[in-house]
Amino acid sequence: MKKMLSDYKLENSGINKVLGSLESSIMDIIWNKDHEVCIRDVYEELASKRKIAYTTVMTIMVRLADKKMLLKRKEGNTFFFKPAMTKKEFTENFVGNVVDSLLEDFADTTMAHIITKLKKNAMNSIGTLEKLLEDYKKGNSK
């Protein structure tokens, strides 16, 4: 589902631009696991760092599953969760949505800003951009 630029919290940093603070904490815990987790696993890790109710963690995890951020399955009376995408995939999707939204309404301004940022921050990035443009011109774009 495509988000509008206004749906983001651009004043925040990292994935908090897209997710709430608790959602981000929960997703980070789950992304750092190499196996499915149950609500209790996440609750115990969060509760060791801050005061939080089990039902709050449960509510947020169910909402993340409803948002298609988590996959859930039931075994007996226990729900198990795993990420629907890696953190890298999530970040690429988020950045892609933001850039797409900007390009739709402000293509020239967006491109000019990106090039200005590249000049200031990294000459290597300019080389990468030049290669991507050359590949695009040759018809080798994704």
pTM above 0.75, yes or no: no
Check whether residue 12 and residue 29 sit in a common domain: yes
Name the nearest CA neighbour of 26 among 88, 81, 98, 90. 81
Number of domains observed in the structure of the chain: 2
Q: What is the mean pLDDT of residues 26-39?
A: 95
Q: Is residue 35 part of a domain?
A: yes
Please give the mean pLDDT across all residues of the chain: 85
Check whether residue 18 and residue 65 sit in a common domain: yes
Q: Is residue 108 part of a domain?
A: yes
Check whether residue 14 and residue 29 sit in a common domain: yes
Q: Which residue did the predictor score with more confidence, 91 or 38?
A: 38
Q: Residue 1's pLDDT band (boundaries 50, 70, 90)?
A: very low
Range of the domain at 95: 87-137
Check whether residue 19 and residue 70 sit in a common domain: yes
Q: Is residue 142 part of a domain?
A: no
Calculated CA dihedral for residues 16, 22, 78, 63, nearest 10 degrees? -60
What's the CA gap between 94 and 30, in Å, rounded?
18
How many C-beta neighbours within 10 Å does residue 103 have?
A: 13
Residue 71 has pLDDT above 80, yes or no: yes
Q: Is residue 131 part of a domain?
A: yes
Check whether residue 133 and residue 63 sit in a common domain: no
Q: What is the mean pLDDT of residues 50-67?
A: 96
Check whether residue 29 and residue 61 sit in a common domain: yes
Condensed to tens digits (0 to 9), the pLDDT of residues 94-134 reads: 888 888 888 888 989 988 887 787 766 666 677 777 888 88
- Amino acid identity of residue 62, one-letter, is V
Q: Which residue did the predictor score with more confidence, 17 or 71?
A: 71
Q: What is the mean pLDDT of residues 48-59?
A: 96
What's the CA gap between 114 and 102, in Å, rounded?
11
Q: Is residue 28 part of a domain?
A: yes
Share of the chain residues as helix, strand and coil, in percent rounded to the nearest 5? 65, 10, 25
The CATH number given to whatever domain includes residue 65 is 1.10.10.10
